[in-house]
Amino acid sequence: MTVRPLRADDDRLIDRLIHLYEFKPYRDYRVWSKALQRAILRKEVDRVLSNQDHLGVVAGDGDDAVIGVCRPLAWDTSFFGVPMGRVELLLRGPACAAGTLSEAVNALLQQARAQTIKHLAVRVDIADMQAVAALEDAGFRLMDGLVTYFTHPRREPPTPVREVGRVRPLTPGDVDSVLAITREAYQGFRGRFHLDPHLPAARSDEFYIEWARQCCAGRMADRVVVVHKGRIAEQGTHDDLLARAGIYAKLYELQYVGESAA
């Protein structure tokens, strides 16, 4: 079996496997067509491959092939003090053999080790038992579960809850209150970070506090969209927009840097 690095000229193979992949995001959302689901997955693949530090492999050929991609997690590594990464893609079709998938997973592990990554995570669809088996065979352990709820937009909306407060935009003055609420809400919580023996327990306790702090500052957003005078003026990651020194950078400096200096 051939196992090789993912190349820039593998675009046709990527499109083919996207078409064949059974576990597309939002596959249970009946209001979205299969074509739209493929387009969403293509966007997700493009986002993953746009990271310059991604590690990609191809195992097998044609409809039996597997494309696996992982990348280092700089923020997580800095926070926990452990070199961390995440498998972003295990893209394949229904004809893929279990052995081919295992070869792809093992190749990703080898690349991760070569990059000194010591902690690798992956999220898989609950129905993707082939991937679950391959990951467990490679030494991965189930640490957490994620449930997504959705409703049909044409159905009657859920019963309104009793009004408990006013909804308004977050301001810098709210950050301390948000952090206090987060600390109270997660007190005694045992999530995947706490259950992982490879991560320091003290940092696991502080993770959700820091996560809330970073969210308030906009640093955790995958994409920030700045609307000015009714039009999109800027969009990108937090770091990208700060580097451009445009509207977002000025607002961030006024709201957060200025307050910190005070």
Q: Report the alpha-carbon distance of residue 198 to residue 214 in Å, rounded.
A: 24
* Mean pLDDT, residues 6-31 taken together: 92
Helices 34-49 and 11-20, axial angle in degrees (round to 10): 140
Rounded to the nearest 10°, the torsion over CA 86, 92, 96, 97 is 0
Same domain, 133 and 8: yes
| 167 domain residue, yes or no | no
Residues 193 and 125 in one domain: no
- Are 77 and 189 found together in one domain? no
Q: Tell me what pLDDT residue 191 has.
A: 87
In a domain, 73, yes or no: yes
Give, in order, the Cα–Cα distances in Å from 210 to each of 191, 199, 216, 246.
Answer: 15, 16, 10, 26
256 assigned to some structural domain: yes
Domain shared by 111 and 65, yes or no: yes
Tens digits of residue pLDDT in 176-201: 999 999 999 998 888 889 889 989 98
The domain of 21 spans: 3-137
Q: Is residue 146 part of a domain?
A: no
Residue 152 in domain: no
Same domain, 93 and 15: yes
Which among 137, 157, 192 is the end of a domain?
Answer: 137
Cβ-defined contacts of 47-53 (< 8 Å, 24+) = 47/222, 48/88, 48/89
CATH of the domain at 9: 3.40.630.30
- Residues 1-29, mean pLDDT to the nearest whole number: 92
Q: Which residues of 191-206 are buried (b: 16+ CB within 10 A; e: fewer)?
A: eebeebeebeeeebbb
What's the total number of domains in the chain? 2
Residue 6's pLDDT is 96
pLDDT band at 102 (very low <50, low <70, confident <90, very high): very high
Q: Identify whether residues 114 and 229 lie together within a single domain.
A: no
Residues 207 and 95 in one domain: no
Q: Which helix (H) or strand (E) holds 131?
A: helix 129-137
- Considering only residues 112 and 188, tell me which one the structure prediction assigns the higher pLDDT: 112
Inside any domain, residue 90? yes
Average pLDDT, stretch 216-232?
A: 82
Residue at which a domain ends, from 113, 137, 161: 137
Indicate the pTM of the whole model.
0.79
What mean pLDDT comes out for the span 22-41?
89
122 and 192 share one domain = no
Of 137, 162, 185, the one marking the end of a domain is 137
Residues 27 and 123 occupy one common structural domain: yes
Kindly report, residue by residue over 49-72, the tens digit of the pLDDT.
988 899 999 999 999 999 999 999
Q: How far apart are CA 2 and CA 61, in angstroms?
A: 8
pLDDT tens column, 199-211: 998 898 899 999 8
In a domain, 68, yes or no: yes
Is 147 domain-assigned? no
